Amino acid sequence: MRIWEPFLRRHFAGGSAAGAVLCMLAVCGLAAAATFARAGEDAPMAGLVEVKLGLNSMNKTDRATLWRRVDEYATVDALQEFCGRKLNLQRRTWAAVSPCVEVASLRKVAAVFRTKKSEYIKGWETAHGDPEKKKALCDTWRPKLLEYQKVLDAHISEAATMCSACLFC
């Protein structure tokens, strides 16, 4: 067991789409990040090396979980956008976790997220493009979409806090 796995289980257990926003773009980094707080310091502390981890740091099971959750979040974000709510989920999550996740890993996850989201939006438009169908769908999902938005906002905020303050995860 990797040293960070208990941390991952403690903070990201549950497996629901709404309970795993951190995994969307950065489970790889948040679960294994070892960043050091910079709190206004100009010179790095002697002997400390900033570490950013990514997809290669994850085992096969964790990567499978990441890709499943990326798909779930793309679905939710696509439906939100289809119903007129732009959450800027990718941009906000990137900003939250970029201090502790490799850029290459973030780019790969973001590319998959964008592709899947685009496919889902296209699917929603095809199946519910008629204004009456769209209104009915969005009205039906409105309570859940509001709930998802609150959960996503809270998790992005938590990710930013954890990533900026992580001394050893």
DSSP string, the chain: --TTHHHHHHHHTT--STT-HHHHHHHHHHHH-B----TT-SSPPTT---B-B-GGGS-HHHHHHHHHHHHHHHHHHHHHHHTT----HHHHHHHHHTTTB-HHHHHHHHHHHHHHHHHHHHHHHHHH-SHHHHHHHHHHHHHHHHHHHHHHHHHHHHHHHHHHH-S--
> Which pLDDT does position 167 carry in this prediction?
55
Give this prediction's pTM.
0.69
Residuewise pLDDT in 10s, the chain (169 residues): 333 333 334 434 444 333 333 443 443 333 333 333 333 444 455 566 667 878 998 899 999 988 998 898 899 999 999 999 999 999 999 999 898 889 999 999 999 999 999 999 999 999 999 999 999 999 999 999 999 999 888 988 988 888 887 655 4
- pLDDT value for 41: 44
Q: What is the pLDDT of residue 48?
A: 60
Domain boundaries, the chain: 5-165
